Chain A
Amino acid sequence: MRNPLLKLIVTRILLAIGTLLIVSAVVFWATNFLPGNAARAALGAHADPTAVKALTQEFGLDRPLVQQYGSWIAGVLRGDFGRSIPSGIPVWETIGSKATNTLVLTLAALSLMIPLSLVLGIVAALRKDSFVDHLISIPTLIAVALPEFVIGTILTVVFAVWLALLPPVSLLDPSRPMWKQANVFVLPVLTLLGTTLAQVIRMVRAVTLDVLNAEFIYMVRLKGIRPSRILLRHVLPNVLSPTIQTIALNAAWLAGGVVVTEAVFQMPGIGSALADAVVNRDIPTVLAISMIITTAYILINLTSEVLILLLNPKLRV
Chain B
Amino acid sequence: MGAACVALSMAEKAAFAQEIRRGGTLRIGLGSAGAKSSLNPLVSTGDMDFAVSQAIYDRLTDFDAKGQLYNNLAEEFSHNHTGDVWKIKLRSGIVWHDGSPFNADDVVYTLQYALNPDTKADAYSSLQPFLRADEVKALDPTTVAITLTRPYALLPEILGSKVMSIIKNGTTSFDLPVGTGPFKFNSWERGQRVSLVRSDSFRQAGKPYLDGVEYIAINDATARMNALSAGQVDAIAQLDASLAGIISANPALKLLQSKSSATTDQYMMVNKKPFDDVRVRQAFRLMIDRKQLVGNALSGYGAIGNDLHCITDPDYATSLPQREYDPDQAKALLRKAGYDNELSVQFYAADAAPGMLSSATLIANQAKKIGVKLELVVVPPDSYYAGPNFKNTPIACSDWGQHTLESQFTQGYARNAYWNEPDWTNDAFDEWVSKARTTFKDEERRSYYAEAQKILWNEGAYIIWGFRDLLDATSSKVQGIEPSTQRNLGYYRFESVYFA
- How far does the Cβ of A271 sit from chain B's closest Cβ, in whole Å? 13
Residues of the A chain whose Cβ atoms lie less than 8 Å from the Cβ of B382: 34, 36, 41, 278-279
With A44-B45, A45-B384 already in contact, the answer to whether A87 and B190 are too (CB < 8 A) is yes
Asked whether B189 is an interface residue with its Cβ less than 8 Å from the other chain, the reply is: yes
Do B193 and A169 touch across chains, with their CB atoms under 8 A apart? no
Q: Smallest Cβ distance from B229 to chain A, in angstroms? A: 7
In the complex, the answer to whether A168 meets B230 with C-beta atoms within 8 Å is yes
Contact of A160 among B29, B37, B230, B352 (CB under 8 A): B230
Question: Within 8 Å of chain B (Cβ to Cβ): is A141?
Answer: no
Tell me the count of chain B residues lying within 8 A, CB to CB, of chain A.
43
* Contact partners of A261 in chain B: CB under 8 A: none
| Known A36-B383, A49-B418, A263-B220: A42·B388 in contact at CB below 8 Å | no
Known: A34-B383, A54-B120, A266-B218. A46 touches B190 (CB 8 A): no
In the complex, B8 has a CB within 8 A of chain A:
no
Whether B223 contacts A168 by the Cβ 8 Å rule is: yes
Bound-complex Cα distance A44 to B124 (A): 15
B130 interface residue, CB < 8 Å from A? no
Any chain A CB within 8 A of the CB of B81? no
Q: Are A86 and B35 in contact (CB under 8 A)?
A: yes
Which residues of chain A are near B232, meaning CB under 8 Å? 167-169, 171
| Contact across chains for B36 and A174 when beta carbons are under 8 A apart | no
Note all chain A residues with C-beta closer than 8 A to B223. 168-169, 264-266
> Complex: how many Å from CA A89 to CA B399?
32
Question: Is the beta-carbon distance between B35 and A84 smaller than 8 angstroms?
Answer: yes
Please measure, in the bound complex, the distance between the C-alpha atom of A212 and the C-alpha atom of B305, giving whole angstroms.
74
Residues of chain A lying within 8 A (CB to CB) of residue B418? 48-49
Q: Which of A37, A42, A266 contacts B36 (CB 8 A)?
A: A42
CB of B263 closer than 8 Å to a CB of A: no
Say whether B34 contacts A280, CB under 8 Å.
yes
The interface residues of chain A lying within 8 Å CB-to-CB of B325 are none
A3 to chain B: which residues have CB within 8 Å?
none
CB of B125 within 8 A of chain A? Answer: yes
Asked whether B149 is an interface residue with its Cβ less than 8 Å from the other chain, the reply is: no
Indicate if the CB atoms of B45 and A167 lie closer than 8 Å.
Answer: no
Query: Which residue of B is nearest A168, CB measured?
Result: B226
Pairwise interchain contact B35-A171, C-beta atoms closer than 8 A: no
Contact with B along A288-306 (1 / 0, CB 8 A): 0000000000000000000
- Determine the distance from Cα of A263 to Cα of B379 in the docked complex, in whole angstroms: 21
Contacts of A161 in B (CB 8 A): 226, 229-230
Mark interface residues in A154-167 (1 if CB within 8 Å of B CB, else 0). 00100011001001
Residue of A nearest to B187 (CB): A175
Contacts of A280 in B (CB 8 A): 34-36
Contact A48 B35 (CB under 8 A): no
Which residues in chain B, 16-42, are within 8 Å of chain A measured between CB atoms?
29, 34-38
Q: Mark B329-351, 1 if CB is under 8 A from A, else 0.
A: 00000000000000000000000
Q: What per-residue 1/0 map shows which CB atoms of B378-406 lie under 8 Å from chain A?
A: 01001111111000000000010000000
Give the Cβ gap from B120 to chain A, nearest Cβ, in Å. 6
B interface footprint on A44-82 (CB within 8 Å = 1, 0 otherwise): 111011010011000000000000000000000000000
Choice from B35, B44, B383, B419 contacting A94 with Cβ under 8 Å? B35
Q: How far is the CB of A182 from chain B (nearest CB, A)?
A: 16
Contacts of B230 in A (CB 8 A): 160-161, 164, 167-169
Interface residues of B in 180-221 (CB under 8 A from A): 187, 189-193, 216, 218-220
B117 contacts partner chain A, Cβ-Cβ < 8 Å: yes
CA gap between A240 and B48 in the complex, in Å: 50
For the complex formed, measure the closest distance between the CB of B336 and the CB atoms of chain A, giving whole angstroms. 36
> Do the beta carbons of A266 and B120 come within 8 Å of each other?
no
Among B124, B227, B384, the most chain A Cβ lie within 10 Å of the Cβ of B227
Inter-chain CA distance A280–B386, complex, in Å, is 12
Q: Mark A170-194, 1 if CB is under 8 A from B, else 0.
A: 0101110000000000000000000
* A residues less than 8 Å from B38 (CB atoms): 86-87
Q: Is the CB of B189 within 8 A of A169?
A: no
Say yes or no for A268: interface residue by CB 8 A criterion. yes
Contact call A35/B383, Cβ cutoff below 8 A: yes
Distance A35 CA – B352 CA, assembled complex (angstroms) = 15
Q: Which of B404-452 contact A (CB under 8 A)?
A: 411, 418-419
Given A44-B45, A175-B189, A285-B35, decide whether A169 and B385 contact each other with a Cβ distance below 8 A: no
User: With A and B bound together, what is the CA distance between A174 and B216 in angstroms?
Assistant: 11
Q: Which residue of A lies closest to B219 (CB)?
A: A266
A148 within 8 A of B: no
Contact partner of A169 (CB less than 8 A), chosen from B35, B124, B218, is B218
B388 close to A35 (CB less than 8 A): yes
Closest A residue, CB atoms, query B34: A276
**Residue of chain A at shortest CB distance from B189:** A174
Q: A34-B383, A87-B35, A167-B232 are in contact. Are A173 and B193 (CB under 8 A)?
A: yes
Residue with the greatest number of chain A CB neighbours at <10 A, chosen from B36, B352, B383: B36
Known: A168-B223, A173-B193. A46 touches B36 (CB 8 A): no
* A207 vs B40: C-alpha distance when bound (angstroms): 60
Which chain A positions have C-beta within 8 A of B191? 276
Report whether A174 and B226 are in contact in the complex, using a CB–CB cutoff of 8 Å.
no
Q: Are B227 and A174 in contact (CB under 8 A)?
A: no
Cβ contact within 8 Å between B227 and A169: yes
- CB A98 to nearest CB in B, in angstroms, measures 9
Complex Cα–Cα for A70 and B220 (A): 37
Q: What is the CA–CA distance of A116 and B226 in the complex, to the nearest angstrom?
A: 31
Q: Closest approach, in angstroms, between the C-beta of A243 and any C-beta of chain B? A: 35
Q: Does A55 lie within 8 Å of B120, measured CB to CB? A: yes
Q: A residues within 8 A CB of B226? A: 156, 160-161, 168-169
Given A55-B120, A175-B189, also A41-B227 (CB < 8 A)? no
Residues of A near B190 (CB, < 8 A) are 87, 89, 94
- The residue among B120, B220, B352 with the most chain A CB atoms within 10 A of its own CB is B120
Which B-chain residue is minimally distant from A84 (CB atoms)? B35
Which residues from chain A contact B192 at a C-beta distance below 8 Å?
Answer: 174, 268
Distance between Cα atoms of A144 and B428 in the complex (Å)? 67
Q: How far is the CA of A266 from the CA of B191 in the complex (A)?
A: 13
Q: List 14 A-B contacts (CB under 8 A).
A: A35-B383, A35-B387, A42-B36, A86-B36, A161-B229, A167-B227, A167-B232, A169-B223, A171-B216, A171-B227, A175-B189, A268-B192, A282-B35, A282-B36
The 9 closest A-B CB pairs, nearest first, are A36-B386, A86-B36, A168-B226, A35-B387, A169-B227, A276-B34, A35-B383, A174-B189, A266-B223
**Hey, which bits of chain B sit against chain A, CB under 8 A?**
29, 34-38, 44-45, 117, 120, 124-125, 187, 189-193, 216, 218-220, 223-224, 226-227, 229-230, 232-233, 352, 379, 382-388, 399, 411, 418-419
17 further A-B contacts with Cβ under 8 Å, apart from A35-B386, A35-B388, are: A34-B383, A35-B379, A35-B383, A41-B382, A48-B124, A86-B35, A161-B226, A161-B229, A169-B223, A171-B216, A175-B189, A263-B220, A265-B223, A268-B192, A273-B35, A278-B382, A285-B35
